Structure 1
């Protein structure tokens, strides 16, 4: 540990000197990733800890901060972390997925370095290697507003992060073996709130406390791997103010469906009788309903929480209507998507439409999930590194899928799935879900406008139902069974970016792809060079670095 402390002090010294030169502030973190034993559902089991914490520590940053985070992998397997929703401009090198990064090998470390921009809001981080996400290694990431950028609500009394997730008592290695053997995952064993489930026996410690009459911000994120989770607070309403980096019209809700990978920020006022209250989360869209509770305690509380829990909504039509109630706050002076201030996205001409249809296959006895008939596999050489070194043709092929697939997806092909995208094109992407289960999709490196979700199949005529005025700019979108969702975005962030299902068994078994966005000028104005500390593996190991980009 002495060596670690010396390194941190040196980094702090360097950050201080950089600050003198007028750079934005630096935040330094050292994380030790280890196995540990915890009993989230009352059964001792192996989990993944970060600095001995489960869930992992919060990253509390402010817009324009530079994050320098040194990760020591003390597991027995390669490991990576991704910063879900954080738009790393010109810097897919720090994305923490296997298409851009070589994994951190056991017993070694890697230092991430990225800058959080003016995407003021609530996010999560989690592992992207194997099935590690099912064992822990996840946590909250906040981007707060700088003093010069006001937010559209008064400062809360305090700011709390609520991590929801479904949970298996089987180890991540066991779950991965199920998938490798061709099986799918069964239903989770239970659900958790910040790694716990209150027993209700009078001995539970509160997760959060509130002073009477004060208003608090709760950042609610679903870090699970399979289930939509509904969240509510006994006796209290929630005023929604932000989701995934965008401030929204401040509607009041009694319950919120939080789909896998999504985050919401709500304001809750302590305006009820002084006692304990339960936060409640339950699984949605399954016959078997799993429930978890966590206690909120008033500081002058004089009684236990009522055992009568608020009921969850029923059916996915309720959830669809809730999505339709979400509107971007056009009067807010902060939390802008890229390009910043893009109020008139509905009047920009679409240059390309891509429809992504999910499917499953058991050909050869092995379960695989696919997009447009291609089930992605990660090559030994990360896609971005191969592209940068000029050997992409030896590692993968571009555009192996069609923008508009045929009505019936044929045989599934297993190979790297990479789309080539023109820099700064304005694109429409349709996610079409032909299955009977929920989907949730995430796009790294960007916010997009979630313009529509509807039942059935998509046709060009459905564009007349798009929200072209105030759709929320976000990073994750759900797709209901036998339904479709449409998003708009400008591919103005050069790099190699991952589009994936947030249902992690589907991602692990191929339901993802990468979008290569190359700047024609190959200029530092558009994309950073490969970092000096980048891990190299596969076909580029030992090769000299290519000529760097210049201004």
Structure 2
């Protein structure tokens, strides 16, 4: 590093201490984006409807980044309502200010803009972004977000011939505002109208196959990043005539195993390698519903270069039953020999030997409050505060706005009534915690935790008990950020709460999320130091109870 460069780095660091800029290093590359969010009219399932576009695109543009890149994204909200984006799986180390949820950020008002500024830090993998307010996700504004490994870090497979993003999702033909009205009136949004792959159902209005989504050359191997960006339905993904080698999921390299099909639950992302080893022609990609009484299917075409042979008509069948899916989960293992970014709780990769300091058991439920349906966790149905929780906490004006720990670490006994209020719990900084997600219902659940990766150590049927720990995988459970909970079953995760901030743990099923099946976890550093958490950004939007308050004293080293 030259003398001039060292002075620049020192100057940037000193500015970060004052809160004038986010404390990121000058030598890490910057990626700049300008996005315009607008309404548009499209017909994904043949019915004209209002959708939300980003730069005129549905789905939105992909973000292609590399470990430690700084993302600077200026978003212009051209809707007639507030808007926010969130980053599914990006850990936002020490920086929940950029998380883009109602508990952390003021909404971007109609006609205004906001610049997100965050660093993808030392992580790799396949992720996506999505709109986080109301039912916006049901209208689009989602897209792929990949973080590639730096060239100096070896990847446990050869470079693919190309790298494709595959976004699969259920889709409704009713507008997001109509869906919200249904829920506000106590009704359900019911079943989706169809399944999309990269915004397309696979067939045109005359029932003909649409143009190929991807092209492969014979003999070459390709990477497909598959994300379920839907709002309600688990989907099974498969490629006609081709096997898939799993290599990465939600930011972790996995032990490489072959699959004919893969269950992708809402909010989850997987990377597979596919070799073009079949007779040249067209082949179907298929995404179909799982764990539902109905069957919906979306298709897309993969074409071998130079071929004009149409795909064969029989679609590869989907698996049946949740036991098949559970066994697939059991086959997933973390690649412990891969040289790549990975979480490092308390200085050890051996999470199974770290002492558990707290066990939180979370049980989902549904009930009626004032004649309307609400979803809850441990008897509390979350309701957003007017002022984002993180701002209230930073300005230290929480007392009149919300209370911590209204939800207990264990569910209430019996048929206790559902309590509707802000659901925020405290987690002691840098403690190792076990969270049990128990699902007494007949429908499958899917949960995501912002700001963290956790170890998915166990699943089982029925209710969890301390004896269930004997079945945990304490060696090579995959580090990830989303986990499914099968009907009448439980899932167990472990993690160190070493990322200071206000973090959302939520149902990925949008109907449930909208009606309260979520909570926030406040992880505060006792030192209130820049070593642990960044200051409020200078461009942060202020709203509600803190709009006119003086800025609190900033954190320092």
Judge same fold: TM > 0.5, yes or no: yes
- 1:338 Cα offset (Å): 4.0
1:406 positional shift = 3.4
1:455 to 452, 456, 461: 461
- Alignment of 1:91 onto 2:80: no
Alignment of 1:136-535 (within 5 A): 136-199=140-203, 204-339=210-345, 342-535=348-541
- The answer as to whether partners of 2:345 and 2:495 remain within 8 angstroms in 1 is no
Instruction: Give deviations 1:319-368, integer Å, cap 9, x for gaps.
Output: 00000000000110113124397420000000000001100111321110
Which of 541, 545, 548 does residue 554 from structure 2 map onto? 548
Gaps of 5+ in 1: 1-17
Question: TM-score, normalising length from structure 1?
Answer: 0.95
Give how far 1:23 is off.
2.2
Structure 1 counterpart SS, 2:329: helix
Helix, strand or coil for the counterpart of 1:78? coil
CA contact (8 A) 2:196 2:202 kept: no
Q: Which residue of the other structure, out of 113, 122, 129, is the alignment partner of 2:133?
A: 129
Match of 1:4 in 2: none
| Deviation by residue 1:470-497 (Cα, 9 ceiling, x = unmatched) | 0000000000111000000000000000
Q: Distance in 1 between matches of 2:210 and 2:424?
A: 49
Give me the CA root mean square deviation: 1.5
The CA deviation at 1:256 is 0.3
The 1-side partners of 2:484 and 2:75 are apart by 31
Deviations 1:180-204 (A, max 9, x none): 0011111000010000011285552
* Conservation of the 8 A alpha-carbon contact between 2:346 and 2:496: no
**DSSP 3-state at the match of 1:32:** strand
1:302 deviates by: 3.1
- Taking the aligned partners of 2:352 and 2:188, their CA distance within structure 1 comes to 40
Distance in 1 between the 2:344 and 2:525 partners? Answer: 17
Take 1:386 and 1:23, find their aligned partners in 2: how far apart are those partners? 34
How many residues end up aligned between the 2 structures?
Answer: 534
Contact 1:377–1:510 (CA<8 Å) still a contact in 2?
yes
Displacement of 1:107 after TM fit? 0.3
CA contact under 8 A between 1:326 and 1:472: conserved in structure 2? yes
Aligned partners of 2:344 and 2:84: how far apart in 1?
A: 26
Contact 1:247 1:335 in 2 (8 A): no
Between the aligned partners of 2:454 and 2:368, the Cα distance in structure 1 is: 33
Deviation of the 1:405 alpha carbon: 2.0
1:80 — aligned with what? 84
Preserved CA contact (<8 Å) 1:338 1:446: no
Shift in Å, 1:117: 1.6
Rounded Cα–Cα distance in structure 1 between residues aligned with 2:331 and 2:115:
41
Shift of 1:264: 0.1
Tell me the distance in 1 between the aligned counterparts of 2:346 and 2:510: 31
Matched, 1:55 2:65: no
CA–CA distance in structure 2, aligned partners of residues 363 and 395 of structure 1: 21
In the TM superposition, residue 533 of structure 1 has moved relative to its aligned partner by 0.6
TM-score between the two structures when normalised by the length of structure 2: 0.94
1:46 aligns with 2:37: no
Conservation of the 8 A alpha-carbon contact between 1:450 and 1:487: yes
Native 8 Å contact 1:213 1:269 kept in 2: yes
Evaluate the alpha carbon distance shift between residue 326 and residue 21 of structure 1 in structure 2; reply closer, same or farther with a 3 A threshold: closer
With over 3 angstroms needed to count, the CA separation of the structure-2 counterparts of 1:345 and 1:41, relative to structure 1, is same
In the aligned structure 1, how far is the partner of 2:414 from the partner of 2:138? 33
1:65: how far off?
0.1
- Cα 1:320–1:203 shift into 2, 3 Å: closer
Q: Is the 8 A contact 1:359 1:409 kept in 2?
A: no
For 2:35, the equivalent position in structure 1 comes to: 31
Contact 1:376 1:513 (8 Å CA) reproduced? yes
- Give per-residue Cα distances to partners, 1:64-85, cap 9 Å, x unaligned: 0000001111111111110010
